[in-house]
Structure 1
Amino acid sequence: MQLIACPWCGEREEIEFHYGGQAHVAYPDDPYALDDDQWAQYVFFRDNPKGPFAERWVHAAGCRRWFNAVRDTVTHEFLAVYDVRAPRPLLTGSAAAAQQRKGQEAS
């Protein structure tokens, strides 16, 4: 079983958490001004990269707080965990290598 580090509770088993989608997706400034195609783009279309990806998670069986995480979608390794109000962190070490590998594969 994989352990996920909750920023407030520490490491817990993955069964306690729920995935909440892509992180850092801004709500439209004026949602009423969007046509159906633009609204569908906002609601349904998300990135699906191979490699490090910023995601939202909730510790549903613990503190019930939301947080963001950068997770490698190839290895499922959590590279960083941070508050939802914080910007995506710069990755260092093996996390930076995974990010660089992602960039090389895209070329």
Structure 2
Amino acid sequence: MNTIKLSLQIAIAEKAVELYRLEESLRSASADLRNACSEFRHKHNGGNYVQRDSDMHEQMREVTGLEFETYNEAKRNVRNAKRRLDTAIRASLGKGVRP
């Protein structure tokens, strides 16, 4: 195996590990958001469903804003890591990369 091929495979492995870590972060952020929403519902609505586009939903979004932002950032990070992994795999297969 030549050095270039080996370095491409190492890059793929590193990107796969990065993706795994970021997916773990996404799962954690998702759980944090669910817990924050559940806590809000139990505290302000007796644990009942909060109808989207209602005043209560708007209040819940304000209270859980940090968790929501963290969740969205984690989703963005996972999408970007998947793209980087895909690019590394295509480069190792000699399929080129999209501009």
Common fold by TM > 0.5: no
Q: What TM-score does the superposition give when structure 1 sets the normalisation length? A: 0.23
Larger Rg: 2
> When you count strand as a share of all residues, which structure comes out higher?
1
> When you count helix as a share of all residues, which structure comes out higher?
2
